[in-house]
Structure 1
Amino acid sequence: MRGAFGYQILNFQRMYYENTGVTQYNRLNTAFDKVFDKAVLNKSMPLEYNSYYIEDGDFWKIDNITLGYNFKPNLVKYIKNMRVYVATLNTFTITGYSGIDPEVNRIGLAPGNDERDKYPTVRTFTFGANLTF
């Protein structure tokens, strides 16, 4: 398990895909929502940085869960020990962040920026068996 708390993220995906001035790309349904219950943002390119797109980045992740079962020794004639298991990586994330992944770069030249064109973190499932002959 791991997590990070007490930092904020600039959500570039929302800033770009909620921009009503961008016509060559699809927009999110939330593009025409009133910002701070006042008015719809109506900005064209280039994008304007706005505090509306700053979100809390707190998260807690369960990275790895492995469940296994060891069978009794000599259960099968030529197998001394046998273990079967299932494992997951990037199992789940608890967060209030609306972007793809709240785990963004917090150091370097652009800390706290959730880049627009990044690939999401994948979830992996592994099934296996360990046999000793």
Structure 2
Amino acid sequence: MKCDVCDSNKVTVESNSILYGKQYGTGKCFYCHDCGASITQATGGHPKGKMASKNTRILRKTCHNLFDPIWKYEMKISRSNAYKKLANKLGIEKQDCHFSLFQTDMCLKAISVISEENWWMK
């Protein structure tokens, strides 16, 4: 596997404690030994998205923190419809609209959209 950030071949499966200090989820991640980018390993052993730098991982978490409450806790829209609306606003296909696929530029665009009050209704 090549790194999505620096194109290095020095990507290995590691304990995700390398990132968090303890294991979460599957306990594994793909980690680039050249630039430090990573992505969680899914249960089936494949990457759960695109590798991201530490800054991009922070932006992805920010996206989730803004996005998830509207479907998860407030139940104002279904998760699927929320991603569909976001994809439309970002000008991308719905299948490409997941934060684990976003790099910095798309995270920043998404944050701009989902920071607006009732963005999914507009």
TM, length-normalised to structure 2: 0.21
Compute the TM-score of the two structures, normalised by the length of structure 1.
0.20
RCO comparison, higher one (Cα < 8 Å, 6+): 1
